[in-house]
Structure 1
Amino acid sequence: MKILVIGAGGVGAYFGGRLALAGHDVTFVARGAHGEAMRTNGLMVKSINGDFNLNPVNVISSIGVDVKADLVLVAVKAWQVRDIASQLKAVVDENTMVLPLQNGVLASDELKEYLPAKNVLAGLCRIISKIESQGVISHFGVEPTIVFGETDNSKTTRVAELCRTFNDAGFKSKVADDIQSELWKKFIAICVSALLAVTRSTYGEVRELPETREMMFQLFTEIATLASRLNVYIEDGFVDKTMAFIDTFPHSSTSSLTRDVWEGKPSELEYQNGTVVKLAHQAGLDVPVNKFIYHSLLLMEQRARR
């Protein structure tokens, strides 16, 4: 399979690297020093599931019209999807599948603003990983998994075959029965990232202090209530399951949004807690914990983008 991976950070490099290791023709779009290091020295992935190295690696710095793919994995930050979508028109043909793996619940809709709906899948991934140094990825938490499907939840031959491709590449994958429900369930969990940023704390610290643990519980509950208001199915007891899931994370771990805020970089704040606040307003629902966290970080986010 010819695969184009847009973004070679902790997500794109890990899953793309596994697919390349399995023998697929993988090309990474990566810029700057990280892309140059991959081009020169290959890609090194340090993983709790076993390290691996790829050398040589196919790396390009931009999306060109001469690049065609059976599958495009979109692994950039959520706020970069719209820009990428407009560029992808040059490489998408009749049969290309475009699979976004962003945090949040908006990526597929944003891709469809520029691409034919038939080309766009919906998906999410589970992994805690980051760029450790130029050309080096560290995967240090959570079993790597991709959950995806057609945006209308139809069970097509192409998603069944793609699921087999992913599983054969050495990471878990499944076709969702209800991909919107799966996206929202991950969305609930990731929105705690901004609480970590506000408190300048790790997952372990936030879950251990009773006061911040209660904030985390209320944050999750607000989003689960919003999902139900929007007719997205969230099963009873899911908030408790999410709390238990957070309890399995390495004590010292954080998220990419958290690290971006701390480092003064643009983050996915608008696509996480900002989206909660905006959708809740439209639905006439009060989400005080998410609103407090979002507003607390908004000035920092605006400064980072300036």
Structure 2
Amino acid sequence: MKYIILGAGGLGSVVGGYLADTGQDVTLIGRQAHMDAIARDGLEITGPKGDFRIRDRLTLATHPDQVPGEHDYLIVCVKSKDMESTLADAQDLVRRVGTVLTLQNGINKEPRLEAWAGPGKVVGASTMEGATLVAPGKCINPFTGPATAYFGELDGRITPRVEELARAFTAARMSAKAVDNIKQVTWEKLVQIGLASSWSVSNLAGGDFYFIDGITVREGAESYMQIGLELLSVYRALGYEPQDFYAPMTQFRDLEKGSFDEGVALLMAWGNQLKAANMKSRTSMHVDFTRGRKLEVDEIIKPFIDKARELRIAIPTVVAAYRTIKLLDHYLK
């Protein structure tokens, strides 16, 4: 199959690199320095799956206009804030790709794609694969899990194309499933991303801290637990029950089995396991903050605040975290 990765930063490069390394034809569209480094030295990916230097089956470009021919899948991996300008530049690709999907965070990503490509071309997708671009040509894949990607039709069907995506990702070291509830997967992932992002940036921004530095401290775990419970109250009000699609990164059912203090103890134990494995990672929003970039706070956290207001649910800790992050974001470029 032929794939285009539109926005080959950290996640796009890891996904595209693994797909190419297992026999798929992949075109990466990314920044000039990154593409130049890959052309010269190959794409380097390091992490718990091993260390890889990928050269074969990679075509490199810095703009969609440089990509000729027809392709099976277009995977959009740019940040949500860059979506409109990126798609405007890629208008010529619409007629030359069979299926379009995005691995972005958020719940409005597929409607935005449908407005651009048409509803028949868009499928739902979600991933929790960790990825950071640390230097041109070099990425880390700091964490993974038993299931790191899900694909499904937006109307709830499982079709050959989403099954093909799941097979390709699984073969490429990214265990994936085709599902009939991709919208629920998307919302539950947003609970996890909203929880980890709002907690990490509002608690750890400003110092040289990683996720494990906060979650292994009792007060940090208590803060994480409280935000999680508030976000889950909104998720349930939407008619969903936690499924832990991305276990062990999500442990919602276990956290709620006992008391608040028992949940905190579970979080701290999990954090100590991550520390013992030297899994020093940050959320993508935390990475953006450390690099002085604008934050996806309105795409990741505000949907819960809007829904809570609509459903008359109190989520004061989430609101406080949102306000803190919006203040920080005000001074970023």
What TM-score does the superposition give when structure 2 sets the normalisation length?
A: 0.83
> What displacement does 1:54 show?
1.9
**Separation of aligned partners in 1, 2:18 and 2:152:** 20
Structure 2 residue identity aligned to 1:24: Q
CA contact (8 A) 1:194 1:258 kept: no
**Separation of aligned partners in 2, 1:67 and 1:299:** 45
Per the alignment, do residues 302 and 105 of structure 1 end up closer, same or farther by CA in structure 2, a change over 3 Å counting?
same
Query: Structure 1: where are the runs of 5+ without partners?
Result: none
**Separation of aligned partners in 1, 2:110 and 2:293:** 24
* Residue in structure 2 matched with residue 100 of structure 1 by the alignment: 102
Query: Structure 2: where are the runs of 5+ without partners?
Result: 245-249, 256-262
* Residue in structure 2 matched with residue 203 of structure 1 by the alignment: 211
Q: Is 1:302 aligned to 2:330, yes or no?
A: yes
Structure 2 residue identity aligned to 1:86: A
CA contact (8 A) 1:223 1:276 kept: yes
> What displacement does 1:289 show?
1.1
**Separation of aligned partners in 2, 1:35 and 1:94:** 23
CA contact (8 A) 2:158 2:179 kept: no
CA contact (8 A) 1:197 1:259 kept: no
**Separation of aligned partners in 2, 1:133 and 1:254:** 16
**Separation of aligned partners in 2, 1:86 and 1:177:** 31
CA deviation vs aligned residue, 1:176-229 (integer Å, no higher than 9, x gap): 231111112211111222321122243223222222212211211222211222
* Residue in structure 1 matched with residue 283 of structure 2 by the alignment: 255
CA deviation vs aligned residue, 1:30-58 (integer Å, no higher than 9, x gap): 01322221233221111211222122631
What TM-score does the superposition give when structure 1 sets the normalisation length?
A: 0.90
Per the alignment, do residues 86 and 234 of structure 1 end up closer, same or farther by CA in structure 2, a change over 3 Å counting?
farther
Q: Report matched runs for 1:1-306 at 5 Å.
A: 1-55=1-55, 57-64=58-65, 66-93=68-95, 96-143=98-145, 145-191=148-194, 192-200=196-204, 201-234=209-242, 239-241=252-254, 247=271, 249-250=274-275, 252-305=280-333
CA contact (8 A) 2:154 2:182 kept: yes
CA deviation vs aligned residue, 1:76-122 (integer Å, no higher than 9, x gap): 11222233333443212386111211122221122112221111111
Structure 2 residue identity aligned to 1:177: D
**Separation of aligned partners in 1, 2:281 and 2:166:** 29
* Residue in structure 1 matched with residue 258 of structure 2 by the alignment: none
CA contact (8 A) 1:28 1:58 kept: yes
**Separation of aligned partners in 1, 2:312 and 2:117:** 32
> What displacement does 1:233 show?
4.2
**Separation of aligned partners in 2, 1:174 and 1:83:** 31
> What displacement does 1:252 show?
3.1
Per the alignment, do residues 71 and 195 of structure 1 end up closer, same or farther by CA in structure 2, a change over 3 Å counting?
same
CA deviation vs aligned residue, 1:118-139 (integer Å, no higher than 9, x gap): 1111111122221122101111
More strand by share: 1
CA contact (8 A) 2:38 2:137 kept: yes
